[in-house]
A and B are shown apart, each in its own frame.
Chain A
Amino acid sequence: MRAGGNKMPDKDALVKHIPGEETQRLLTVEDLSVSFDTEKGSVRALFGVSFSMDAGETIGLVGESGCGKTITALSVMRLLASPPAKMDGGRILFKGRDLFALPEKRMCEVRGQEISMIFQEPMTSMNPVLTVGEQVAEVFTAHGICGKKEAAERAVEWLRKVQMPDPERRAKEYPHQMSGGMRQRAMIAMALALSPSLLIADEPTTALDVTIQAQIMALLREMRERERMAVLLITHDLGVVHDFADRTAIMYLGRIVEMAPTRELFAGPIHPYTQGLLASLPGASQTSRVLPSIPGTVPDLANVPPGCPFSPRCQHRQAAMKRFLSGETSTDELRDCDREDPPAFEFSPGHLAACHYQRRVCGES
């Protein structure tokens, strides 16, 4: 289904792209906009982010630092401190419930029981003065699942499930006594203890060494199958999503610029930013000695250019500008790029990208 001609793409295109029942959606993020009050005034961090996920599905959210991937995750958990954060619009539906309409007390029940999160640096996200066993057990007591004694037993059981070596002994140790990989295992035990249906993993392996990273990803994979949970994986590492996510969304400056089934995204990226990112990965091809690179740097969120956020770095936009300025073409073919933030457009079923140029070239054929 390809929208053609002048028809504007459906605003909800990102939400509706998989044929199926609306009721099966586990999580729907709709047009989410968030800004922060700073000394320099209000700074927009998310500009209408929309995506949805099904039960048991894994979505990878990829982007460079400051693109808004963690803000998106924290919004879903409703963990953004307000102020300084402010919701400017949009809504988040989890199993049909509007999370922002829930009273804080209900939200506390959702966190941990239905949605839980693991963080990048387990050392700073764990309590240094409680043993690891106590911290896992706290999940059960805090939610009123069982008494202290049973909670302690369940904690050891969970440490065993995440393949912590010698779980009885390790439960009595403090976070600083463990290696980074073991701490991450303990954090996964905490996050999964109440069998949530959605796990948000924010850079779960970024602080770890390559071989330990492989261990943790293997564990997450196994737990995902066993618990049949959905995973929202946030990372800057394209390699990690490539092997792990069903679908991948690429973020740039507070927007999802491209989203597709992971294989399709890697095989045929549409957005020039995605193309540039994939091409600039070193080591993938051994023949070329010069890496294709994206010129410039990610602009500061405080002064995002009008129009398409990527246009100052986009080769197509720059080429069109050059042709126009040199008089080669009489009209600036891509002037839309500087005027209008491109809406998401469905290039093939399930493959969306927000790019004026690509829409001109492929969208209307």
Chain B
Amino acid sequence: MSGNAVYRPDANEALLTLVNVYKTFPVRASFFSAEEVRVRAVDGVSLSLQPGKTLGLVGESGCGKSTMGKLAIRLLDPDSGTIRFEGKDMARLAGEELRGMRRRMQIIFQDPYSSLNPRMKVQDIVGEGWFVHGLARGRELRDKAALLLERVGLTAEARNKYPHEFSGGQRQRIGIARAIALSPRLIVADEPVSALDVSVQAQILNLLKGLQEEYGMAYLFVSHDLRVIRHVSDHVAVMYSGKVMELGPSEELFSRPSHPYTRSLLSAAPMLGGAPAEHIVLSGDIPSPVAPPPGCRFHTRCFRARKFCSECSPLLREVAPGRFAACHFV
């Protein structure tokens, strides 16, 4: 076991920092019982995101990545831990200050069908932020909406239509237009291309990339798709059962994964830039977030696990400059 430095999020100049964040949700133990148990969705996560950069959060279903996205823009409040945006503790903000901060953080959702109000015209969907914050109204709002829609690859006429008149890819463009309308500094993109066909996926990824270069916002990009994460991210955090397993610069992490979970995840994803270096098929299922295994969360499926892995939970430690992994063996 190495004595390397434990990961601490770099608070200097970071746009967003999360320190030791925990979040649980109550659920009923079974359909017929009144007993409540708590799902541990995010279990002690620390991360930071630099302005204008993209942090990819990748993991399988139930690993807590979407909860992380919602915590980051305070759609959810953490049970404990600190989340700082532009250096300010978000939990302490209220009133005007909180409203002002909300302008600078937006979210793009996975499902372009259910995330747009079917009874609102596109210009009202896109311009709602301007309206709410008193930035534009009436004719000015309509003109600004037309410009914005053109920027995301739609026609200006689109502003007078309703969401059902658009295809999935076009709806996602509307969702993106809504997110960038207030020139935010942070956008949480929660599986933004997962519901789209492959040929449309690439268009949306290019649009997101282009907007980032133009406006310089940071993305917290949540996806289960390793190929997408590799393409968009500067840094990547691999999550499993509510914890970060590995963290590092995207290209290094993908070309030389160090954590056993990352290694099996990459080997399971076919065609990730040539043949996979190794072929690992994990046994067993993803553990239930209600009763996660003790010790290292991954030990029940890990090919390197020893007895003490089930007793002692590994910390996220530096394994190479700038690279961190939570494993006793790396």
A209 in complex: contacting residue of B199, B209, B224, CB < 8 Å: B224
Output the nearest chain A residue to B261 by Cβ-Cβ distance.
Answer: A211
B201 in complex: contacting residue of A182, A242, A282, A284, CB < 8 Å: A282
B281:A209 contact, CB within 8 angstroms: no
A-B contact count (CB 8 A): 116
- In the complex, which range does the number of interface residues on chain B fall in? 35 or more
| Residue B264, interface by CB 8 Å | yes
B205:A214 contact, CB within 8 angstroms: no
B226:A283 contact, CB within 8 angstroms: yes
Contacts of B200 in A (CB 8 A): 297
A211:B206 contact, CB within 8 angstroms: no
Contacts of B283 in A (CB 8 A): 215
Q: How far is the CA of A243 from the CA of B271 in the complex (A)?
A: 8
Render B290-315 as a binary contact track against A, CB cut-off 8 A, 1 for contact. Answer: 00000000000100000000000000
Say yes or no: A211-B60 contact (C-beta < 8 A), given A280-B199, A293-B199. Answer: yes
| Residue B121, interface by CB 8 Å | no
Question: A166-212: which have CB < 8 Å to B?
Answer: 179, 181-182, 209-212
Cβ distance A6 to chain B, nearest Cβ, rounded Å: 33
Contacts of A358 in B (CB 8 A): none
Q: How far is the CA of A280 from the CA of B282 in the complex (A)?
A: 29
Q: How far is the CA of A211 from the CA of B262 in the complex (A)?
A: 10
| Residue A43, interface by CB 8 Å | no
Contacts of A179 in B (CB 8 A): 285-286
Question: B14-66: which have CB < 8 Å to A?
Answer: 60-61
Say yes or no: A286-B199 contact (C-beta < 8 A), given A215-B281, A242-B270. Answer: no
A64:B199 contact, CB within 8 angstroms: yes
B269:A210 contact, CB within 8 angstroms: yes
| Residue B129, interface by CB 8 Å | no
A277:B230 contact, CB within 8 angstroms: no
Question: B200-229: which have CB < 8 Å to A?
Answer: 200-203, 205-206, 209, 224, 226-229
B285:A212 contact, CB within 8 angstroms: yes
Cβ distance A47 to chain B, nearest Cβ, rounded Å: 19
Contacts of B264 in A (CB 8 A): 211, 214
Contacts of A218 in B (CB 8 A): 281
Cβ distance A73 to chain B, nearest Cβ, rounded Å: 19
Which of A8-16, A128-136, A232-240, A332-340 interfaces with chain B?
Answer: A232-240
| Residue A330, interface by CB 8 Å | no
Q: Is the interface of A mostly helix, strand, loop or mixed?
A: loop
Render A207-237 as a binary contact track against B, CB cut-off 8 A, 1 for contact. Answer: 0011111110010000000000000000011
Cβ distance A258 to chain B, nearest Cβ, rounded Å: 14
| Residue A38, interface by CB 8 Å | no
Chain A count of residues within 8 A CB distance of the other chain: 39
Cβ distance B248 to chain A, nearest Cβ, rounded Å: 15
| Residue A298, interface by CB 8 Å | yes
Output the nearest chain B residue to A214 by Cβ-Cβ distance.
Answer: B268
| Residue B143, interface by CB 8 Å | no
A284:B199 contact, CB within 8 angstroms: no
B268:A213 contact, CB within 8 angstroms: yes
| Residue A326, interface by CB 8 Å | no
B271 in complex: contacting residue of A65, A242, A291, CB < 8 Å: A242
Q: How far is the CA of A220 from the CA of B224 in the complex (A)?
A: 23
Cβ distance B266 to chain A, nearest Cβ, rounded Å: 9
A182:B226 contact, CB within 8 angstroms: no
B270:A239 contact, CB within 8 angstroms: yes
Contacts of B99 in A (CB 8 A): none
| Residue A281, interface by CB 8 Å | yes
Q: For A209, A211, A276, which residue has the most chain B Cβ atoms within 10 angstroms?
A: A211
Question: A283-301: which have CB < 8 Å to B?
Answer: 283-286, 289-295, 297-298
Contacts of B232 in A (CB 8 A): 282
Cβ distance A5 to chain B, nearest Cβ, rounded Å: 34
A281:B285 contact, CB within 8 angstroms: no
B227:A284 contact, CB within 8 angstroms: yes
Say yes or no: A280-B285 contact (C-beta < 8 A), given A239-B269, A290-B206. Answer: no
Complex A-B: 21 CB contacts under 8 Å: A65-B197, A209-B60, A210-B224, A211-B264, A211-B265, A214-B268, A239-B227, A239-B272, A242-B270, A243-B270, A243-B271, A277-B198, A281-B202, A282-B202, A283-B227, A283-B231, A283-B273, A284-B227, A291-B206, A294-B202, A297-B200
Q: Which 10 A-B residue pairings sit nearest by Cβ, starting from the closest?
A: A283-B227, A239-B270, A282-B231, A214-B268, A293-B202, A280-B202, A209-B60, A64-B197, A283-B230, A291-B202
Binding site for A on B (CB under 8 A): 60-61, 167, 169-170, 197-203, 205-206, 209, 224, 226-232, 251, 254-255, 264-265, 267-273, 281-286, 301
Not counting A179-B286, A211-B264, A276-B199, a sample of 14 additional A-B residue pairs whose C-beta atoms are within 8 angstroms of each other reads A64-B198, A210-B224, A215-B283, A218-B281, A236-B197, A239-B227, A239-B272, A243-B271, A282-B205, A284-B227, A284-B272, A293-B206, A297-B197, A298-B199
